[in-house]
Structure 1
Amino acid sequence: MFKLIRTRIHQGYKTCNYPGKEVTLHPAFKGLPRLNLNCDQNIVEKCAASCPQDAIDPGTRLIDLGRCVFCGLCERISKGEFIRFTNNFELAATQRDHLITDGNLPDIAANAKKRFKDLFGRSLQLRQVSAGGCNACEADTNVLNTPFYDLSRFGIQFVASPRHADGLHVTGPVTRNMARALLMTYEAVPSPKLVIAAGSCAISGGPFRGSPEIIPLETLLPVDLYIPGCPPHPMTTLNALIRYLKKDRSE
């Protein structure tokens, strides 16, 4: 016991004080991109042609964050003249079309459903469902339960049973083998309930988009919150949940 107490004193307080204090991620992190809409069309078309996810529309000069895997190839090809990835981890949206952007996203706090804020603003229980993913999204989601992030201090927890949950946190592309299990899990969650699509695969199918073995999540369930990334950074998920459920950063 004394050894544990001594270790705790030596380590000090490890939990980040976000959102009370802003967090700056490592410079290598690729967050919200900024697009130069006045860039030379040839550069735009080269970026669009090279994108492995077809996330760039050369006509509108916008990027689909729901498809993007943040590989940074477009930034390297354009040498930052067309696309530049910032360190901003605030990437979530409440509507799918909001993710098709030039780098400006609507405030999810202002677009969140008020009834969810009223119901789950102080307590939210989520059932995580991996619908055929590679486990990267799940791994970064699990990090939120570590002392550094301490998700439970916000009243948000992941639970084992959908009957104890307020909603689903879906990761991975929905494979045909997982579709029925996902629907059964959703039906077991008491109403009212919310659905969160986390990661490129859950939002758009990711690298598996267009495969006959993939069923788009939106055709099965109503999605309330989209969290882009491949995988989404823990801070992106934390920010999305807090902003979606709280009225402002001080709550």
Structure 2
Amino acid sequence: MSLGSGGIWPYTLAFGADQLDKRDNSAKNMRTLQTFFNWYYTVLGLSIVFTATVIMYIQQARGWVVDFAVPVVLMVGKMEIPATSFNVFAILTLTVWVAVYDRVLMRPLSWLTGHTCGLSLRQRMGVGLALFAVGMAVAAHTESVRRAAAIAQELRDPGHPDESVHMSAMKLVPQHCLTGLAEGLNLIGQIEFYNSEFPNTMSSIGVSLLALSLGFGAVLGSAIVGAAAPQARGRAATAGV
């Protein structure tokens, strides 16, 4: 699936842009391309939402056999979203941002900034990077609050291995929303930047390198957590990753 995704995402994006790009640097052409990239990423995000909610729920409730048959079946009734599906809030934020920016904010911003697409690509990428940093800071603060609550409830006691911290899971929502907004600014801005700066025959390479960097970052993050967790367990009981 990873190999398949690597062969689909960069090339379908480049193929779609190639069908719309007139290579004349006109304001209309730039807005058309921005709209395409925005909504392409939005549809991709909505598919992730479906996977992270419905598919994950069926996997946990019905097993892998039913899970792989789900693309053609929609289940109704009460559904509890698994804890691993909180990334849905990031995708929903991204979707709302793209819709609002593309249909509401772009024209007023273009009047203010003098740029055809509202904010320039570098401005969007820069603001997105800043929001990623803010999101990580919020996540760190939330984790410190969770850890303090666990200590206050004496959940570090080995006699209570299965008890949960008495803290609303909704406290995790702000960090995911910030991440989604950052993606809507930075990642979509990067895709547009590569498409506009690279030669026509190399547009898919830029998107491929972006996907490669995201994958490498995910692997590196997992490696850091995997290396830090044993050290944390080996220290004081109050230590955390």
**TM-score normalized with structure 1 length:** 0.24
Answer with 1 or 2: which has the greater Rg: 2
Q: Greater share of helix residues, 1 or 2? A: 2
Q: Greater share of strand residues, 1 or 2? A: 1
**TM-score normalized with structure 2 length:** 0.24
